[in-house]
Chain A
Amino acid sequence: MAGQVAIGSRSGLRSALPLLLPAYLWLTVAIFLPLSAMVFFSFMTELPLSGKAWSFTLDNYTAFLSQGLYPTLLLASLRLGLEVTLWCVVVGYPAAYVLAKVLKGRSREAIFLLVILPFWSNGLVRIFSWAMVLREGGILDTALNAVLPIKINIDLMYSYPAVIIGLVHSYVPYMVLTCYLTLQAIDGSLIEAGRSLGASRLQVLKRIVIPLSMPGLVAGAALIFVPVVGSFMEPRILGGRTGTFYGTVIEDQFVAVFNWPLGAALSFILLAVVLVILAVASPILRRAA
């Protein structure tokens, strides 16, 4: 019996191989090669391309610990990632629920389009649009003062909230999409069954809908948290002086200081930390579901 199963799965793999091959070839070329080059760089004293003499070293990694700035910034970035992820849940989950369970037909398509729109607009354009909205005398400021009787000053530009707003806007579509998919798959009769058994809407949400859509929430959170921790564009443009994060420091190493080995080492430390966090968090979240 066990032998049969093994044979079955092996022949399954063999027949799947032609289908998998293009994807894995592409992944190897596009991700694995540059990534291994970066691993290599991260253990060097100098970039070999620069023509200077180089040797292997661990200094780039020890620099992270010896300079208190890096761990502090990493913590700040992790906090940023957490906050943005939470806001994405708060904004994205209800939107996904309405899309999946309330709207039908045309209106669903229209709202879907609105949600996807940030995906299709250029990242820089998106961020600079926010800059115009958030700065003093900008669109938000002017609009609010036009409506409100008292004069108030809205200047969110170059602040932590501005960074959050920009990042949430960029990343919330991931949350909407992943949650939409899992919510969509929940049979409407489950909700009706819950209600007929005496549960209020809120109780049904808490005990049936959210647990069943947990995989979407977790997937969305992972898709958002990881890139946000390493983000640099939004913090730099919308955060100004307050926008120094781990990601911007890494970017500096690559584009300003040209210390690629240090930049690479910092990136891999980030990657390791994020992987550890995901490994610890995912079973907890799964159990909660």
Chain B
Amino acid sequence: MAGVQVSNLSRSFGAHKALDDVSIDFADGGFYALLGPSGSGKTTLLRQIAGFDFPDFGRIAIGGESVERVPIEKRRIGMVFQNYALFPNMSVADNVAFGLSVRGEPKAVIAAEVQRALDLVQLGKLGSRRPHQLSGGQRQRVALARAIVTKPRVLLLDEPLGALDKALRVDMQIELKRIQREIGITTIFVTHDQEEALTMSDRIGILRDGRLVQEGPPEEIYDRPKSEFAATFLGDANIFRGDSTGNGIRLQDGTAIAAGAGAKLAAGAKASCAVRPERIRIATDTGTPNAPNANVLRGQVSKRIFAGNNSTYFVERAGQTLKVIVQNTGAERLAEGQDVVLRWSPESTVLIAAG
């Protein structure tokens, strides 16, 4: 097994920088999720690691060795492509067998390994089908089986579960995670699904316009986003903009919002505060008294969306719509149009420098 280090990687297409000075250390045996909007360079990064494309600058090492001169087939990488890339001229079983058979493994070994891999992705009975006879989700699973059957050092997954329905997706997430742990394979996983990224990975990197915006363990990124972009891209966040007071901000109307201890910014500079919707408590005007130090804002409920285990309230306040998520505890629900008080602790508030 082997970790992957990319250092100062840049790749331009014409004037467009698809990757801009990206450095990430993908730990040996780790499960790393790459998140980012469409066109942010996720696929481009995977392609550099796989060797399909070459960076203009920077270095890629797999297992501590630079792979600059290592051809694709010697990098021992398993890749699941965004468009699956199954061989249309071969059956499902032959697709999965391809990697073993070019290596010259004996037929009996291949047959057994292929069956095992197909069983793993719950496609054991479809080996004789052609790719075009499969559904999108089945194709994705074949692609996954094909990539892992060769026991690669690194698994590159470009949205491998995108076409699956919720139930199958959760099944496959668990399977994938189990396989990954079992063979301890370094996995780099591109996804659009934040929940998937949060639940599956032990590290997350967020890309935007070819730059690595932030990376770290899921909890850290979720709790301590370093930019408005990171805060709103991974999970939901209410953003307040104002002038820094050192450990918080002052809004235009003079209201102060305090951030948690440890927040420090030069006073006077433009800054923002981010608060997760589930961290805010909502109550009627006459509700619970202020806890000491709590941030308090008054507003009016404009809309409530009931989602079973929770409700989302949209609260209008000084021209801004704030989002508050309340667990369904059976407590009385607030009506639309109701005046409310929002409270949350400074510890739930992240201070972010503008820019």
Contacts and interface: CB of A to CB of B under 8 A. Distances in A.
A binds B: yes
Interface of A: 187, 189-190, 192-200, 203, 207-208, 211-212, 289
Contacts of A193: 79, 81, 85-87, 146
Contacts of B99: 197-199
B89 A211 contact: yes
A196 B77 contact: yes
B87 A196 contact: no
Among B50, B79, B85, B146, max chain A CB count under 10 A is at B85
Contact of B50 (A192, A200, A211): A192
A207 B98 contact: yes
B78 A196 contact: yes
Contacts of B73: 195-200
A190 B87 contact: yes
Contact of A212 (B81, B83, B89): B89
A196 B79 contact: yes
A196 B52 CA distance: 9
Contacts, number: 66
B150 interface: yes
Among B76, B102, B147, max chain A CB count under 10 A is at B102
A194 B50 contact: no
B97 to A, nearest CB: 10
For the residues of A in contact with B, the DSSP-based class is helix
A197 B150 contact: yes
Contacts of B85: 187, 189-190, 192-193
Contacts of B71: 195
Contacts of A207: 98, 102
A93 B138 CA distance: 34
Contacts of B224: none
A289 B102 contact: no
Interface in B244-260: none
Among A196, A198, A203, max chain B CB count under 10 A is at A196
B190 to A, nearest CB: 15
B270 interface: no
Nearest to A187: B85
Contacts of A203: 102
A189 B86 CA distance: 9
